[in-house]
């Protein structure tokens, strides 16, 4: 038991005081920059909204803009937070 604890301590010390990171040891670098990731996320959102609007057009419903979707999400989050606050008040916990 003691030997295992000592070995664990040695590995912990190596991890703490080693002058690099695991990414340095493996020479790992991200494949894309953060700016590229953000642009890809924005493109994905645009594609999802366009696909949803195409389905809405085929069924005769009005299209949605990103602002309308964000407003809907914000409203639902506020409603959920209000319901959670009401539940906490009714259950008597103040966390």
Query: In whole angstroms, what separates CA 87 from the centre of its chain?
Result: 26
Per residue in 7-58, pLDDT tens?
Answer: 999 989 888 888 777 777 777 777 888 999 999 999 999 999 999 999 999 9
Band of residue 95 on the pLDDT scale cut at 50, 70, 90: low
| Two structure tokens written together for 71 | 């407003």
pLDDT at residue 94 greater than cutoff 60: no
Domain boundaries of the chain, sorted by first residue: 65-94
Q: Which of 33, 10, 15, 11 is nearest to 25 (CA)?
A: 15
Per residue in 33-44, pLDDT tens?
Answer: 899 999 999 999
pTM: 0.55
């Amino acid at each position: 038991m003691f030997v295992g604890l000592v070995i664990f301590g040695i590995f912990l010390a190596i991890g703490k005081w080693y002058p690099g990171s695991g990414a340095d040891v493996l020479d790992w670098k991200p494949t894309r920059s953060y700016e590229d990731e953000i642009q890809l996320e924005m493109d994905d959102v645009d594609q999802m909204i366009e696909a949803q609007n195409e389905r809405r057009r085929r069924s005769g419903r009005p299209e949605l803009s990103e602002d309308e979707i964000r407003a809907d999400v914000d409203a639902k989050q506020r409603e959920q937070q209000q319901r959670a606050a009401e539940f906490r008040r009714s259950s008597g916990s103040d966390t």
